[in-house]
């Protein structure tokens, strides 16, 4: 859309090095003015952990939509596609090591993203794609267009290296009930058959009022159990995915990354409760994830 820009904003720099800026992660998600969800939840801890992020918004909203009012809009698909195109024009896809996608906002944006992946991933063999298939949640039901679920299943899953659904999204993608650990593992293995190497499923019901986060691969399976807290805020899954990706990029093996990421998210939720605020205490997660040594909630074989 360069031709549509006001020519007064197109200008050069007299003194500028020509070395490309480093980028570790491309994060394609929603963006908020107030609060934490999508990129507005994922990017702060990523940067606290020292990673360089290129943010691609799929929506620009005043706040998450569970408030009495929400302003802004889902980006039109042609705008969104143009941002992705501009990313490639700067060569970012060839330098980044990880691509994360979250809330896409519309089926049209999902198709535009899938088209971009089809053309971009063959040019960037180093780029691993982590798909957070944002569809809905158990207590809300689906909150995306029905056609977007088909885009996730048919076009995005085959490209993904890792998929990070909550229990509800795992049910929707897998086409089977996820009542607990055994069902969740079976559903995750069904998704593995479609292409991903790992399925990390969170918010799975465990015994004794605990929630499970499961990492299911073709040859191994781990779980982390945490107490369920009386808190319903946006962005928890976005932070979990961000921390997991960050720790693995920094060399952590998946089970270690899983237990540190889950422990950090739990501490963040505890801090939010203690502060009595309506949005995540977003700065509480990264310091916990950064801590070496045994995590508060260990990963065990499932």
Nearest to 241 by CA among 289, 183, 190: 289
Alpha carbons 26 and 127: distance in angstroms, whole number: 10
Tally Cβ neighbours within 10 Å of residue 203: 21
Amino acid 122: pLDDT: 97
Contacts of 250 (CB under 8 A, 6+ apart): 49, 50, 51
- May I ask the CATH class of domain 20-301? alpha beta
pLDDT of residue 6: 75
- pLDDT tens, the chain, 302 aa long: 556 777 767 777 777 788 999 999 999 999 999 999 999 999 999 999 999 999 999 999 999 999 999 999 999 999 999 999 999 999 999 999 999 999 999 999 999 999 999 999 999 999 999 999 999 998 888 999 999 999 999 999 999 999 999 999 999 999 999 989 999 999 999 999 999 999 999 999 999 989 999 999 999 999 999 999 999 999 999 999 999 999 999 999 999 999 999 999 999 999 999 999 999 999 999 999 999 888 899 999 99
Residue given tokens 């031709």 in the structure block: 3
Residue 250: the pLDDT is 96
**Would you kindly state where each structural domain of the chain is located, as residue ranges?**
20-301
- Please give the pLDDT value at position 181: 96
Per the structure block, which two tokens stand in for 61?
């909203």
Given this model, what pLDDT does residue 2 score? 59
pLDDT of residue 1: 56
């Amino acid at each position: 859309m360069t031709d549509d820009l006001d020519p007064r904003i197109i200008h050069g720099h007299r003194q500028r090095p020509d070395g490309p800026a480093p980028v570790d992660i491309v994060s394609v998600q929603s963006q908020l003015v107030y609060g934490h969800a999508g990129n507005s939840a994922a990017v702060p801890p990523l940067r606290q952990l020292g990673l360089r992020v290129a943010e691609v918004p799929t929506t620009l909203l005043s706040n998450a939509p569970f408030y009495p009012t929400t302003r802004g809009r889902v980006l039109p698909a042609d705008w969104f596609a143009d941002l992705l195109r501009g990313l490639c024009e700067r060569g970012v896809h060839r330098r980044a090591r990880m691509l994360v996608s979250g809330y896409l906002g519309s089926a049209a944006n999902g198709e535009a993203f899938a088209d971009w992946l089809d053309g971009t991933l063959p040019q960037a063999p180093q780029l691993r794609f982590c798909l957070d298939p944002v569809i809905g949640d158990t207590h809300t039901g689906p909150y995306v267009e029905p056609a977007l679920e088909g885009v996730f299943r048919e076009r995005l899953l085959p490209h993904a290296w890792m998929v990070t659904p909550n229990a509800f999204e795992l049910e929707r993608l897998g086409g089977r009930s996820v009542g607990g650990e055994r069902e969740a593992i079976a559903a995750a293995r069904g998704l593995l058959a479609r292409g991903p190497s790992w399925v990390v499923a969170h918010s799975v019901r465990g015994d004794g009022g605990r929630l499970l986060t499961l990492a299911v691969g073709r040859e191994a399976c781990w779980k982390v159990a945490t107490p369920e807290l009386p808190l319903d805020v946006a962005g928890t899954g976005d932070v979990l995915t961000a921390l997991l990706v960050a720790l693995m990029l920094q060399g952590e093996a998946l089970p270690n990354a899983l237990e540190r990421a889950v422990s950090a998210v739990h501490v963040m939720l505890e801090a939010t409760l203690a502060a009595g605020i309506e949005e995540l205490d977003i700065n509480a997660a990264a310091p916990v994830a950064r801590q070496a040594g045994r995590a508060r909630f260990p990963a065990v074989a499932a």
